[in-house]
Structure 1
Amino acid sequence: MAKIESKGKVPMVQELFLNFGLTPNNEFLADNTGFTYSSSHKVMLEGIDFDLIYTPLKHLGYKAVLNVLGPLYAGGFEPESLSVRVALSKRFSTNSIEELWSGVVAAFKEHGLQNIDLDLLPSVTGLTISLSSQGKQKNELFVQRPPCKSSDLLCLSGGLGAAYLGLQILEREKMIFEKDSTQPQLEKYKFVLQAYLNPYIDKTLFETMKSVGVFPSRGEFVVNGLADSVKSICLAKNLGAKVFMNRIPLAAGATEVATEINIDPVTAALNGGDDYKFLFAVPLEKHEVLQKEFPQLDIIGHLCDPQAGALFVTPDGTELNLKAQAWDK
Structure 2
Amino acid sequence: MKALVYQDLKQVAFQDIEEPSIQKADQVKVKIYGSGICGTDLNIVKGKVPANKGTVIGHEGVGTVVEVGSEVRGLQVGDRVLIDPTQSCGICSYCREGLFIYCENFDDHQVGMTTHGTFAEYYVGDEKYIYPIPDSMSWETAMMIEPLGCVLQTFMKAGVKPSDSVLVLGSGAIGSLCQLVSKRLARLTVGTEVDSYRKEFAEGIADHVFYPQELTLDKVYEINNNKKFDIVVDAVGNQLHVGFELIAKGGRIIPMGYDDSYEVTFKSTHVINDGISIIGAVANHSMISTALKFAQSIPELEQMVTSSELLSDYEQAFNGTIGYNLRTGETLPMNSVKTALIL
> What TM-score do you get using the length of structure 2 for normalisation?
0.28
Larger relative contact order (CA 8 Å, sep ≥ 6): 1
Give the structure with the higher percent helix.
1
